[in-house]
Structure formats: C-alpha cells, structure tokens
Chains A and B, each alone.
Chain A
Amino acid sequence: MTTKQTRKASFRDGVNLALDEAMAADPRVIVFGEDVADGEGGGVLTVTQGLSTTYGTKRVRSTPIAEQAILGAAIGAAVAGGRPVAEIMLNNFLRVAADQLANHAAKLRYMSGGQTTVPLTVRSICGAAGGFGAQHSEFLDADYAHVAGLKIIAPSTPSDAYHLLRSCIEDEDPCLFLEHLKLYFGGAKERIDTSAERVPIGKARVARSGRDVTVVTYSQTVHEVLAAAGTLAAEGIDVEVIDLRTIVPWDETAVLESAARTKRVVVAHETAVPFGVGAEISSRIHEELFGELAGPVRRVGSAHVPVPFAAGLEAAYLVGAPEIESAIRAAVAA
C-alpha cells in the first residue's frame, strides 16, 4: 500500500483506495451494487475495479438492477453487524429506492429507541456533466438533507474523497456519499496521505483564505468558485472559499466564524437556489449575524429546470464561474 500512498491519485482513485483499505482493515466491510465486481468491469466507471479480485465475490458483489433490493440488503446487513458500502449508480436512482433510504435507513435507529443502528454507506454519482440529460444528472443534496437520521458527504478533492469515505464507512450512522461525475473526469490529481489524520465528517476546510467575502460551497462547485476567486483576485477582491465537504451536519462553526470576519457571504451550489441547501445556510447566517453583515447573504445555483441535454443548454443550466463572480460582486458591492 506504500506505493498507493505516494502516487498521484484522481478522485476515482481516492474512492477506490478508500474502499480497498477499508476492506483490508475490516472484514465487516462489504461492497455491492450494479456491476461493481470485476467480472462486470469493476463498476461502469471502474471505481470499484480490483476489489472483487482482491477480496472475493462473497464480499464484493454485483447486483441485479434493483435499487430497493440493493439498499434493503445494505440496511439489513448493516443492522446485523456488517459495514456495507452500497453503490446506487446515479443520484436519480436513489429516488427509486427512496423508501429504503428515507423511511428505513434514516429511521430504524430512532424508531427502535436506539436498539438498532444502521452503519451504512451509500455511494452515488451526482451532478451534471457530459450530456446525460434530465434523469441522469441530478444532485440530490436538499432532498435528503431534510431527512432526519442521515449524514450527507460531498467531497471535492481526491484526498477528501479518500478520507471522508473511510470516515463514512467507520461511522455508526447511515451516510450518503455523493461523488460528482465531473470530478472523475476533470478533477486534478493529488497525492493522498493515507497516514494523515482522518478528515472527520462535519468538518469544513478553507479551500482559499480571503478577507473580503466568504463563499460557502461543496463538491464540484468548489472548483468553479476557486476559478471565480482567481479572476476576482485580479480585480482586488479577496475571496475566502469554504468547502463544506459535509452537507449534513454542516460545519456551522467554521462558516459563522468566516462570515463574522468578512461580513459578506455567498452560498454557491450546483442545485437550484429555491428550497436548496443554500437557503438553510443563508438563514442560519442571518439568524446569528444579522446586525454584523455588510449586506444580505447571496445564493447562486443552477437553473431551476430539469437538466437539459444539448451541450449549450446544459452549460447554460449549470452554475459556473461567471454566475458565481456576479454573485460575489453583488455581495461585495453591498
């Protein structure tokens, strides 16, 4: 494993390495989902490649295309003492099994008065990239953020993908781990220090320090915000970028500390603004810092429409650096 620690890793590599090392470290960890075993290609995007060869098809299983069966099996195995990592290929398909995730995984602990717990990790690809259209491109952050009993993690870098996936697998609660499609293809590679202290769930990171305005974001949108921050730096606007990494429970302490310092805040995420995660973050900032802010918290997201197919329309739909720059300028002008 020493070699794995030193080579440059993509986001996909980070996820694969986390699964590999988690399975090596703990025989309770099992992996299943559509096509995840090597006989079926190690996942449609090869994210789970090699696992079934190393750990066997008893612990790494390809499943039928049956999302309720997948999540149900994961829930039962988790309650019984396993550490299942279930893959639901795409976010949209979580809706096919929403009953298992929202009615059961999230609630069994509470409904049983704490007698049972569901240490389950659900991995799923989120986000729009490459023209997959309305039913293969969604990012279901807000949908599940409102369900009590779930944790939602959406990293933006290979290293965070590694550390946070391991944290999810070790966590006692059901975790929804969202992997943005674009990060597999477009993200930068980096060295992953697997011996470093594990990144905990619920802890944000400062992706860029700045004085003038705080932008709160997560997942792929972190990179759009960093690009915008680079552009604005040339105009003399110094942007602080907070990568939440965990959506539920989000790091309110880190966000409020930064907001109190810069007094201007923008929340940027890939999903649409209405009823989105940004609404909650914005409200909490206003509730805590209303009199101290230089202006209202701004929100920026993608269009509130089904994700369109045509490349130009998809690009127009997606929140990107230009929209984020506009929101930041508006916040700074206040």
Chain B
Amino acid sequence: MTPPIELYRTMFTIKECDDRFWTLMQSGQIVLNYYSPRGQEAVSAGVCAALRPSDYLVTTYRGLHDHIAKGVPLDALWAEFLGRVGGTCKGKGGPMHITHPESGLMVTTGVVGSGLPIANGFALWSQISEDDRVTAVSFGDGATNIGAFHEALNLAAVWKLPVLFVCHNNLFAEHTAYAAGTSAEHVADRAAAYGIPGVRVDGNDPLAVRDAAAEAVVRGRAGEGPTLLEAVTFRFRGHQFGDDGAYIDPAIFASAQERDPIPAFRSRLLAEFGMPESEIAGVEDEVRTAVRDAAEGALAAPEPPAVELHTDVLATSLPGGAA
C-alpha cells in the first residue's frame, strides 16, 4: 500500500509542474495548448496507487496528472510538453499525446471519449494472453455523453474485461456545466445501464480514490469485469490556458477552493497521520528541485531535427512504393 506521503509527493509534483508551466506561459517563455489538471491531482494519485507499474493507463489531453502519477519520468515529460529532443515522443506528440509504455502510459488522446474503446483493447489482450494486467482509462464528465463511452462500457461488460473506467468529474465539459449537458444525476449512475458497478467517490481525497480503485482493480484482475469510478473533483484553471472561467459561478469556485486537495491532504498528513512538518517540507523541496531541473533541462534542449518529420509514420516502408 502506497504510504500517504508518497501520494502527497505525487500530488505535489503535479501541482508544481502545473504552476511552472503556468508561469512559463504567462511570462511568454513558452507557448502551449495547455489543459491544466490543477485541482484533480488526488484522482490520478489515488488511481495510480491502486495500479501496478505494469498495469496500463490510457488518458486524455488533460493528462499531466495521469502522466506524472503513472510514473512517466519528469525529464522526458517536460521535454515532450515543450516539443524538444529528449521528449517521450521525440517532440512529435506533445502534451496531448504523451506515450510512455515503460511506465504503462500507453495512449494519450486529444479526442474526447476515444480512449475508452482503446482501453478495452488493452484489457482484451490481457484477458487473452492472461498477463494479469488491468487497464485504467481516464476521461472527463463531458466524455460520458459521447457514443464511444457507451459502446466501450457495453463491450467491456459483455466481455468482462479487466478495465477501470475513471471519470474525472470536474463539473464542467469545456465551458458547459455538468447538469446542462448530462442527463444522469451522477456519472456513476450510468453503470447500471451496463450492469456493472458504478462507484462515486470524493475525487479530492486520494485515499478514498485509491481504496475505491483498488476494489475495482481486484474485481478486474479476478475476471469479474469492469467498474465505472466517478471521482468528483474540480479544475481551478479553466478548460485551457486563456480561459477566464467567466461561466463558472463564483460561489461554486469558492466552495471548490475550500476543498483544494493539496492543502487538504497536507493538513491530514500533519493531523491524521502525525507526519512532522519537516518531513513534508523535505518532500516538497525534493519535488521543487526535481521539477525545476526537468524544466530547465527541457528549456535548454534543442528542437527536434527536421529529419524527424518523416520518421515513425509507418513501421515498415516498402521499396518501390510511394506512400
């Protein structure tokens, strides 16, 4: 079981990376299409704490928190976010397509909902090859209204695939409030339509997320099929960089801030787990140094050479062919 301080380390790393990206963008040092995960740190930290390193994760364009929690190395992650040499994907994928199979981070898609059917495929191969893996897939509340979500839950249920469907319900689908675009009162309610467990959990509590995810992972590994996990959370920095959040009711925003998972869990480490302040501060310092080093390394790295434009399109190009 992952110790609470390690969950906090993951969450603080996500926040520290996010803050640094934000500062670099605001100062004009980098230009990014950036979808901040600030506020959703506990969901990724909790889910990934329930997974083995060899388990698979499929995520979406708001994915930084998942990338970090699943263990993608910070240096390669930062270099890829900036499109530099040394990036996980040679600078060809970028933030919306982070891939790092060594960490089990198999796909990051930029298309809402499209990761779910693909996650089924990873789980299908685990079922057939009996490799004992579970696949988790992250998506937002908005994705639960697209067809791919429903096709994927149905197929996973019919085939009893070892999949954990994780909805990061941050209450907004782009700029549209949850209830304005979603017929079900709760995302987890939708599991009933497919005859699978639907679990709703406080997405700001990494331990609650971890425990709920762990139960689902046990079910999946035991061949009992998929689970829909709804982690209710919030995003503090809008849909993407540049979004002023004018559509968010200030009262809802203020109430969410009171439940910000980072300070909340830090307080629990002190009060509930009796962790000394110095130990927490020590972890924070280590994280700050690691993130600063990764950022500086990425900023100093060159852009990909032009030859990379044409590589990696096909695995096998054919002589005499003009593809």
Contacts and interface: CB of A to CB of B under 8 A. Distances in A.
Interface of A: 30, 58-59, 61, 63-64, 66, 68-69, 71-82, 84, 99-100, 103-104, 108-117, 119, 148-149, 151, 171-173, 200-203, 246, 248-254, 284
Name the 8 nearest CB pairs between A and B, nearest first. A76-B121, A72-B117, A249-B321, A172-B315, A113-B90, A249-B323, A112-B99, A113-B89
Instruction: Kindly name the residue among A63, A68, A74, A100 whose own CB sees the greatest number of chain B CB atoms within 10 A.
Output: A68
A79 B106 contact: yes
B93 A109 contact: no
A122 to B, nearest CB: 13
A177 to B, nearest CB: 16
A81 B125 contact: yes
A110 B313 contact: yes
Contacts of A75: 117-118, 121
Interface residues of B, number: 54
7 contacts: A72-B117, A72-B152, A73-B117, A76-B120, A111-B99, A113-B88, A173-B314
Contacts of A252: 320-322
Given A81-B129, A112-B93, A116-B99, A99 B121 contact: no
B124 interface: yes
Contact of B322 (A68, A108, A111, A249): A249
B92 A110 contact: yes
Instruction: Kindly name the residue among A59, A84, A254 whose own CB sees the greatest number of chain B CB atoms within 10 A.
Output: A84
B221 to A, nearest CB: 16
B315 A117 contact: yes
Given A68-B152, A200-B318, 5 more contacts: A76-B107, A76-B121, A76-B122, A104-B107, A172-B316
Nearest to A66: B151
Contacts of B127: 58
B183 to A, nearest CB: 20
Contacts of B255: none
Contacts of A119: 315
Contacts of A200: 318
B159 to A, nearest CB: 7
Contacts of B117: 68-69, 71-73, 75-76, 100
